[in-house]
Amino acid sequence: MISLRLLFNMILPCIAVGLSGSTLHASSPPPEKIPNFAGTWTWSWKDSQGSTHRHVLEIEGTESTLAGRERFDDEGPVRVTEIKTERNKVQFTVVRGARRAEYRGVIDKSDDINGTVVTTDGGETQEAVWKAKRKPTPKESP
């Protein structure tokens, strides 16, 4: 017959391992999904004369090796510089001639950016609200 002490020494470690494993697993939060900045983003704004201007921002690469270009209205693309991401925050700079625009925003719901843009042109600086939308990527046909 198995002694009570032997039975206790065999079962107690199994219970302890089982409880600690389930406790650790249950208390670990799910990993946070960090939005990807790559893609084609668009936004528009109206100037003081009521004309609408359109921007297209194309970002390629992964978090550590991002590159981009931006198009304004019908003008040719320019290189995007100083691209930085941290979790869901993004920032980048666009220089077009004498005009410099520094964008900072937060990716919300993976396909929207809400933030601010600070523009400097001829020594005059302005800050405005900036909202961009990611264009949906075309679905590949099976």
The pLDDT tens digits for 91-134 are 999 999 999 999 999 998 889 999 999 999 989 999 999 999 99
If you average pLDDT over residues 38-52, what whole number do you get?
94
In this structure, the chain runs to a length of: 142
In a 10 Å sphere around its CB, with 0-12 CB exposed, 13-18 middle and 19+ buried, how is residue 57 labelled?
Answer: buried
121 vs 4: which has the higher pLDDT: 121
What gap in Å lies between CA 59 and CA 21, rounded to an integer?
43
**pLDDT of the residue at 22:** 45
Contact 134, 112 (CB under 8 A): yes
The full set of domain ranges for the chain reads 39-134
Percent of the chain beyond pLDDT 70? 73
Helices and strands, number each (H, E), in the chain? 1, 8
Residue with tokens 């550590």: 64
With a threshold of 0.75, does the pTM exceed it? Answer: no
Q: Comparing 32-36, 39-43, 55-59, 63-67, which segment has the lowest mean pLDDT?
A: 32-36
Tell me what the pLDDT averaged over the chain comes to. Answer: 83
CB 55 within 8 A of CB 134: no
- Domain 39-134 sits in CATH at 2.40.128
Confidence at residue 17, expressed as pLDDT on a 0 to 100 scale:
47
pLDDT band at residue 13 using 50, 70 and 90 as cut-offs: low
> Is residue 82 predicted with pLDDT exceeding 70?
yes
pLDDT score for 62: 83
More confident residue, 71 or 32: 71
Determine which helix (DSSP H) or strand (DSSP E) holds 117, and give its type and residue range.
Answer: strand 112-121
